[in-house]
Amino acid sequence: MKTIQFREAIQQAMSEEMRKDDTIYLMGEEVAEYNGAYKASKGMLDEFGPDRVIDTPISELGFTGIGIGSAMNGNRPIIEFMTFNFALVGIDQIINNAAKMRQMSGGQFNIPIVFRGPTGSAGQLGATHSQAFESWFANCPGLKVVVPSNPYDAKGLLKAAIRDDDPVIFMESEQMYGDKGEVPEEDYIVPIGVADIKREGTDVTIVSFGKIIKEAYKAADELEKDGISCEIIDLRTVRPLDYDAIYKSVKKTNRLVILEEAWPFGNVATEITYQVQENAFDYLDAPIIKINTADTPAPYSPVLLKNWIPNSEDVVKAVRKVLYK
Protein backbone atom coordinates (compact mmCIF):
# COMPACT_ATOMS: atom_id res chain seq x y z
CA MET A 1 0.00 0.00 0.00
CA LYS A 2 1.15 3.51 -0.79
CA THR A 3 -0.24 6.76 0.66
CA ILE A 4 -1.34 9.10 -2.12
CA GLN A 5 -3.69 12.04 -2.61
CA PHE A 6 -7.21 11.70 -4.00
CA ARG A 7 -6.14 13.56 -7.18
CA GLU A 8 -3.29 11.09 -7.65
CA ALA A 9 -5.70 8.17 -7.32
CA ILE A 10 -7.80 9.65 -10.11
CA GLN A 11 -4.74 10.24 -12.29
CA GLN A 12 -3.42 6.73 -11.68
CA ALA A 13 -6.76 5.11 -12.51
CA MET A 14 -7.03 6.95 -15.83
CA SER A 15 -3.38 6.45 -16.80
CA GLU A 16 -3.29 2.75 -15.96
CA GLU A 17 -6.41 2.07 -18.01
CA MET A 18 -5.18 4.21 -20.92
CA ARG A 19 -1.92 2.27 -21.06
CA LYS A 20 -3.88 -0.96 -21.56
CA ASP A 21 -6.45 0.32 -24.07
CA ASP A 22 -5.73 2.93 -26.73
CA THR A 23 -9.46 3.56 -27.31
CA ILE A 24 -9.58 5.39 -23.97
CA TYR A 25 -8.93 9.12 -24.01
CA LEU A 26 -9.47 12.11 -21.71
CA MET A 27 -11.19 15.28 -22.89
CA GLY A 28 -12.25 18.48 -21.14
CA GLU A 29 -11.29 21.98 -20.15
CA GLU A 30 -7.66 22.41 -19.02
CA VAL A 31 -7.02 18.66 -18.79
CA ALA A 32 -3.90 18.78 -20.97
CA GLU A 33 -1.61 21.83 -20.97
CA TYR A 34 -2.65 22.87 -17.44
CA ASN A 35 -2.51 19.28 -16.04
CA GLY A 36 -6.16 19.53 -15.03
CA ALA A 37 -8.01 22.28 -13.19
CA TYR A 38 -7.28 20.38 -9.95
CA LYS A 39 -4.12 18.64 -11.23
CA ALA A 40 -5.96 15.32 -11.54
CA SER A 41 -4.42 14.70 -14.99
CA LYS A 42 -0.89 15.79 -14.14
CA GLY A 43 1.67 14.39 -16.56
CA MET A 44 -0.88 12.69 -18.80
CA LEU A 45 -0.36 14.98 -21.80
CA ASP A 46 3.37 14.24 -21.72
CA GLU A 47 2.73 10.49 -21.61
CA PHE A 48 -0.20 10.09 -23.99
CA GLY A 49 0.03 13.12 -26.26
CA PRO A 50 -2.57 15.59 -27.54
CA ASP A 51 -4.58 12.97 -29.44
CA ARG A 52 -5.55 11.24 -26.19
CA VAL A 53 -5.47 14.08 -23.65
CA ILE A 54 -7.50 16.79 -25.31
CA ASP A 55 -8.08 20.36 -24.19
CA THR A 56 -11.43 21.85 -25.20
CA PRO A 57 -12.94 25.31 -25.33
CA ILE A 58 -15.55 26.25 -22.70
CA SER A 59 -18.18 24.27 -24.58
CA GLU A 60 -19.67 21.49 -22.44
CA LEU A 61 -22.55 20.83 -24.83
CA GLY A 62 -20.10 20.34 -27.67
CA PHE A 63 -17.48 18.10 -26.10
CA THR A 64 -20.13 16.06 -24.26
CA GLY A 65 -21.77 15.29 -27.60
CA ILE A 66 -18.43 14.54 -29.27
CA GLY A 67 -17.62 12.09 -26.47
CA ILE A 68 -20.93 10.28 -26.81
CA GLY A 69 -20.59 10.08 -30.58
CA SER A 70 -17.08 8.66 -30.31
CA ALA A 71 -18.29 6.10 -27.75
CA MET A 72 -20.87 4.95 -30.29
CA ASN A 73 -17.99 4.41 -32.71
CA GLY A 74 -15.80 2.19 -30.55
CA ASN A 75 -13.96 4.57 -28.22
CA ARG A 76 -14.13 4.75 -24.42
CA PRO A 77 -13.98 8.46 -23.56
CA ILE A 78 -13.45 10.06 -20.16
CA ILE A 79 -15.13 13.47 -20.21
CA GLU A 80 -14.08 15.84 -17.44
CA PHE A 81 -16.29 18.69 -16.28
CA MET A 82 -14.48 21.38 -14.31
CA THR A 83 -17.52 21.08 -12.05
CA PHE A 84 -20.80 19.23 -12.50
CA ASN A 85 -22.52 22.59 -12.26
CA PHE A 86 -21.23 23.12 -15.80
CA ALA A 87 -22.53 19.71 -16.88
CA LEU A 88 -25.99 21.28 -17.01
CA VAL A 89 -24.95 22.86 -20.30
CA GLY A 90 -24.46 19.34 -21.70
CA ILE A 91 -27.18 17.54 -19.77
CA ASP A 92 -29.36 17.18 -22.88
CA GLN A 93 -26.63 15.05 -24.44
CA ILE A 94 -26.17 13.00 -21.25
CA ILE A 95 -29.85 12.34 -20.57
CA ASN A 96 -31.29 12.15 -24.09
CA ASN A 97 -28.39 10.42 -25.83
CA ALA A 98 -25.91 8.69 -23.51
CA ALA A 99 -28.53 7.27 -21.16
CA LYS A 100 -31.02 6.18 -23.82
CA MET A 101 -29.04 5.18 -26.90
CA ARG A 102 -28.59 1.53 -25.95
CA GLN A 103 -32.34 1.02 -25.51
CA MET A 104 -33.36 3.16 -28.49
CA SER A 105 -30.96 1.31 -30.78
CA GLY A 106 -32.19 -2.07 -29.64
CA GLY A 107 -28.80 -2.86 -28.13
CA GLN A 108 -26.83 -1.99 -31.26
CA PHE A 109 -24.90 0.77 -29.48
CA ASN A 110 -23.24 0.61 -26.08
CA ILE A 111 -22.09 3.95 -24.67
CA PRO A 112 -18.91 3.18 -22.67
CA ILE A 113 -18.25 6.70 -21.41
CA VAL A 114 -17.32 8.24 -18.06
CA PHE A 115 -18.36 11.78 -17.14
CA ARG A 116 -16.27 12.89 -14.17
CA GLY A 117 -15.58 16.01 -12.13
CA PRO A 118 -16.36 17.64 -8.78
CA THR A 119 -19.81 17.95 -7.23
CA GLY A 120 -21.37 19.86 -4.34
CA SER A 121 -20.11 22.85 -2.42
CA ALA A 122 -16.41 23.65 -2.20
CA GLY A 123 -16.71 26.64 0.09
CA GLN A 124 -17.46 30.21 -0.91
CA LEU A 125 -18.04 29.65 -4.63
CA GLY A 126 -21.57 31.01 -4.81
CA ALA A 127 -24.93 29.39 -5.53
CA THR A 128 -24.27 28.38 -9.15
CA HIS A 129 -21.01 26.57 -8.32
CA SER A 130 -22.15 24.73 -5.17
CA GLN A 131 -24.85 22.32 -6.31
CA ALA A 132 -25.12 18.55 -5.82
CA PHE A 133 -26.82 16.81 -8.73
CA GLU A 134 -26.29 13.16 -7.76
CA SER A 135 -30.02 12.56 -7.39
CA TRP A 136 -30.74 14.27 -10.73
CA PHE A 137 -28.54 11.87 -12.65
CA ALA A 138 -29.52 8.88 -10.50
CA ASN A 139 -33.15 9.54 -11.40
CA CYS A 140 -32.40 8.68 -15.04
CA PRO A 141 -32.45 5.00 -16.13
CA GLY A 142 -29.40 4.14 -18.18
CA LEU A 143 -26.89 6.02 -16.06
CA LYS A 144 -24.71 4.73 -13.23
CA VAL A 145 -23.76 7.27 -10.57
CA VAL A 146 -20.61 6.90 -8.46
CA VAL A 147 -19.54 9.21 -5.60
CA PRO A 148 -16.35 8.04 -3.83
CA SER A 149 -15.19 9.49 -0.51
CA ASN A 150 -11.52 8.47 -0.31
CA PRO A 151 -8.53 7.70 -2.56
CA TYR A 152 -8.81 3.88 -2.33
CA ASP A 153 -12.43 3.84 -3.41
CA ALA A 154 -11.86 6.57 -5.99
CA LYS A 155 -9.17 4.65 -7.85
CA GLY A 156 -10.95 1.30 -7.73
CA LEU A 157 -14.31 2.72 -8.72
CA LEU A 158 -12.92 4.88 -11.53
CA LYS A 159 -11.16 1.88 -13.05
CA ALA A 160 -14.44 -0.05 -12.83
CA ALA A 161 -16.28 2.87 -14.43
CA ILE A 162 -13.81 3.11 -17.33
CA ARG A 163 -14.18 -0.61 -18.01
CA ASP A 164 -17.99 -0.44 -17.84
CA ASP A 165 -19.91 -0.63 -21.12
CA ASP A 166 -22.56 1.83 -19.92
CA PRO A 167 -22.34 5.57 -19.20
CA VAL A 168 -21.10 6.35 -15.71
CA ILE A 169 -21.40 9.66 -13.84
CA PHE A 170 -18.33 9.85 -11.57
CA MET A 171 -18.60 12.64 -9.01
CA GLU A 172 -15.67 13.92 -6.94
CA SER A 173 -15.08 17.07 -4.83
CA GLU A 174 -12.66 19.99 -4.95
CA GLN A 175 -12.35 19.63 -1.17
CA MET A 176 -11.19 16.01 -1.41
CA TYR A 177 -8.45 16.25 -4.05
CA GLY A 178 -5.81 16.82 -1.37
CA ASP A 179 -7.09 14.07 0.94
CA LYS A 180 -4.60 11.26 1.48
CA GLY A 181 -5.16 7.54 1.87
CA GLU A 182 -3.57 4.16 1.34
CA VAL A 183 -3.93 2.65 -2.13
CA PRO A 184 -2.58 -0.70 -3.36
CA GLU A 185 0.20 -0.51 -5.93
CA GLU A 186 -1.14 -3.56 -7.75
CA ASP A 187 -4.18 -3.47 -10.06
CA TYR A 188 -7.58 -3.62 -8.35
CA ILE A 189 -11.15 -2.48 -8.86
CA VAL A 190 -14.00 -1.61 -6.51
CA PRO A 191 -17.25 -2.97 -7.97
CA ILE A 192 -19.96 -0.46 -8.85
CA GLY A 193 -23.13 -0.86 -6.81
CA VAL A 194 -21.57 -2.22 -3.61
CA ALA A 195 -21.71 -0.14 -0.41
CA ASP A 196 -19.03 -0.39 2.27
CA ILE A 197 -19.34 -0.45 6.05
CA LYS A 198 -16.68 2.05 7.06
CA ARG A 199 -17.36 1.67 10.77
CA GLU A 200 -19.25 -1.12 12.51
CA GLY A 201 -21.71 -0.30 15.28
CA THR A 202 -24.77 -1.53 17.12
CA ASP A 203 -26.96 1.43 18.12
CA VAL A 204 -27.70 3.37 14.93
CA THR A 205 -26.99 3.19 11.21
CA ILE A 206 -25.68 6.31 9.49
CA VAL A 207 -25.77 6.22 5.69
CA SER A 208 -23.82 8.76 3.65
CA PHE A 209 -21.54 9.19 0.64
CA GLY A 210 -19.01 11.61 -0.83
CA LYS A 211 -17.13 14.22 1.14
CA ILE A 212 -19.97 14.92 3.60
CA ILE A 213 -19.42 11.47 5.14
CA LYS A 214 -16.49 13.01 7.03
CA GLU A 215 -19.06 14.74 9.23
CA ALA A 216 -20.52 11.33 10.09
CA TYR A 217 -17.09 10.12 11.22
CA LYS A 218 -16.69 13.18 13.45
CA ALA A 219 -20.13 12.64 14.93
CA ALA A 220 -19.47 8.95 15.57
CA ASP A 221 -16.27 9.79 17.44
CA GLU A 222 -18.16 12.30 19.59
CA LEU A 223 -21.05 9.93 20.28
CA GLU A 224 -18.69 7.10 21.19
CA LYS A 225 -17.61 9.14 24.22
CA ASP A 226 -21.16 8.66 25.54
CA GLY A 227 -21.20 4.96 24.75
CA ILE A 228 -23.25 5.30 21.55
CA SER A 229 -22.09 2.92 18.82
CA CYS A 230 -22.63 4.15 15.24
CA GLU A 231 -22.47 1.97 12.14
CA ILE A 232 -21.46 4.06 9.11
CA ILE A 233 -22.27 2.91 5.59
CA ASP A 234 -20.58 4.62 2.65
CA LEU A 235 -22.85 4.07 -0.36
CA ARG A 236 -20.00 4.77 -2.82
CA THR A 237 -22.57 4.28 -5.62
CA VAL A 238 -26.02 5.87 -5.66
CA ARG A 239 -27.14 4.21 -8.90
CA PRO A 240 -27.31 1.25 -8.58
CA LEU A 241 -27.88 1.59 -4.84
CA ASP A 242 -26.94 -1.22 -2.44
CA TYR A 243 -30.25 -1.50 -0.58
CA ASP A 244 -29.38 -4.89 0.92
CA ALA A 245 -26.42 -3.44 2.83
CA ILE A 246 -28.72 -0.80 4.34
CA TYR A 247 -31.47 -3.29 5.23
CA LYS A 248 -28.97 -5.62 6.89
CA SER A 249 -27.55 -2.81 9.01
CA VAL A 250 -30.98 -1.45 10.00
CA LYS A 251 -32.07 -4.91 11.07
CA LYS A 252 -29.12 -4.88 13.44
CA THR A 253 -29.29 -1.32 14.80
CA ASN A 254 -33.05 -0.62 14.40
CA ARG A 255 -32.39 3.06 13.71
CA LEU A 256 -31.39 5.03 10.62
CA VAL A 257 -29.95 8.49 9.97
CA ILE A 258 -29.09 9.55 6.41
CA LEU A 259 -26.60 12.33 5.74
CA GLU A 260 -26.49 13.84 2.25
CA GLU A 261 -25.20 17.09 0.79
CA ALA A 262 -28.26 17.91 -1.30
CA TRP A 263 -31.45 19.92 -1.18
CA PRO A 264 -34.09 18.18 0.95
CA PHE A 265 -36.76 17.60 -1.72
CA GLY A 266 -36.66 14.35 -3.70
CA ASN A 267 -33.06 13.29 -3.13
CA VAL A 268 -31.13 10.05 -2.54
CA ALA A 269 -32.02 10.12 1.17
CA THR A 270 -35.71 10.37 0.27
CA GLU A 271 -35.46 7.23 -1.85
CA ILE A 272 -33.61 5.32 0.87
CA THR A 273 -36.20 6.40 3.44
CA TYR A 274 -39.03 5.03 1.31
CA GLN A 275 -37.29 1.74 0.55
CA VAL A 276 -36.40 1.08 4.19
CA GLN A 277 -39.93 1.76 5.44
CA GLU A 278 -41.22 -0.48 2.64
CA ASN A 279 -38.83 -3.37 3.18
CA ALA A 280 -37.57 -3.13 6.78
CA PHE A 281 -40.32 -1.22 8.61
CA ASP A 282 -40.80 -3.84 11.32
CA TYR A 283 -37.17 -3.47 12.37
CA LEU A 284 -37.35 0.29 12.99
CA ASP A 285 -37.57 1.47 16.60
CA ALA A 286 -37.68 5.16 15.62
CA PRO A 287 -38.59 7.30 12.61
CA ILE A 288 -35.85 7.70 10.00
CA ILE A 289 -34.11 11.09 10.00
CA LYS A 290 -32.50 12.53 6.90
CA ILE A 291 -30.07 15.43 7.08
CA ASN A 292 -29.70 17.71 4.07
CA THR A 293 -28.69 21.23 3.17
CA ALA A 294 -31.10 24.09 3.73
CA ASP A 295 -33.78 24.37 1.03
CA THR A 296 -32.18 27.42 -0.59
CA PRO A 297 -29.44 28.13 -3.11
CA ALA A 298 -26.03 27.92 -1.45
CA PRO A 299 -25.13 31.28 0.18
CA TYR A 300 -21.79 33.02 -0.39
CA SER A 301 -21.55 34.43 3.14
CA PRO A 302 -19.31 32.16 5.28
CA VAL A 303 -21.68 32.57 8.24
CA LEU A 304 -24.71 31.54 6.21
CA LEU A 305 -22.80 28.79 4.39
CA LYS A 306 -21.83 27.21 7.70
CA ASN A 307 -25.50 26.97 8.61
CA TRP A 308 -26.58 25.88 5.13
CA ILE A 309 -24.44 22.76 4.83
CA PRO A 310 -24.86 19.78 7.22
CA ASN A 311 -22.20 19.20 9.86
CA SER A 312 -21.30 16.75 12.60
CA GLU A 313 -23.42 18.59 15.17
CA ASP A 314 -26.49 17.95 13.02
CA VAL A 315 -25.61 14.26 12.92
CA VAL A 316 -25.11 14.08 16.69
CA LYS A 317 -28.51 15.69 17.27
CA ALA A 318 -30.21 13.33 14.83
CA VAL A 319 -28.64 10.24 16.39
CA ARG A 320 -29.66 11.35 19.88
CA LYS A 321 -33.19 11.95 18.61
CA VAL A 322 -33.62 8.47 17.11
CA LEU A 323 -32.21 7.03 20.35
CA TYR A 324 -34.63 9.18 22.38
CA LYS A 325 -31.72 10.72 24.30
Q: Provide the annotated active-site residues.
A: 60, 129
Dihedrals phi, psi of 171, to nearest 5 degrees = -110, 125
Q: Are 53 and 45 spatial neighbours (Cβ–Cβ below 8 Å)?
A: yes
What single string gives the DSSP state of each residue in 85-138? TGGGGGHHHIIIIITTHHHHTTTS-----EEEEE-S--SSS-GGG----HHHHH
Map residue 253 onto helix, strand or coil. Answer: helix
**Beta bridge partners of residue 199, listed in sequence order:** 232
Smallest CA-to-CA distance from 82 within 113, 60, 66 is with 60
With both helix axes pointing from N to C terminus, report the angle between 151-163 and 6-20 in degrees, rounded to the nearest 10.
30
Residues in CB range of 297: below 8 A, 6 or more apart: 127, 128, 130
CB atoms within 10 A of CB 197: 14
240 cis-preceded (ω within 30 degrees of 0): yes
Determine phi and psi for 33, rounding to 5 degrees.
Answer: -60, -35
Detail the DSSP E strand segments found in 16-75. Answer: 24-28, 53-55
Radius of gyration of the chain (CA): 20
